[in-house]
Amino acid sequence: MRTISRWASGPLLVAAVLMAYVRVRLEPLRKRSERGASAVEWAVISGITVAAAAAIGIVIWNKVRAGRDLINTEIPTDGGGGGGP
């Protein structure tokens, strides 16, 4: 028992208490930084998704505009409708 009490009152006890204190104080910071990293990952993934959606939208928009230009909107005036005498 004397050796335990001698070690318990010495610098080893102080170091153990200090290490425990530091661990307790740093654990929330570690968790918070993991949440921050997760938020950054989600932001990057969201940015890539938005950029891909915008690129696909631009391609579709250009295809629709090109198809619109191919439609003949003129009404024939030569009377070739064939509806009667």
Q: What is the pLDDT of residues 3-19, one digit of tens each?
A: 555 555 566 667 777 77
The residue assigned the tokens 């028992």 is: 1
pLDDT at 55: 93
| Residues whose CB is less than 8 angstroms from the CB of residue 13 and which lie 6 or more positions away in sequence, other chains included | 7
Q: Considering the entire predicted model, what is its pTM?
A: 0.45
pLDDT at 40: 80
Q: What is the per-residue pLDDT across 52-74, written as a single tens digit (0 to 9) for each?
A: 999 999 999 999 888 887 886 66
Domain ranges of the chain: 2-69
pLDDT at 22: 77
Measured CA to CA, the distance from residue 43 to residue 36 in angstroms comes to 10
pLDDT exceeds 70 at position 35: no
Instruction: Supply 53's token pair.
Output: 């959606």
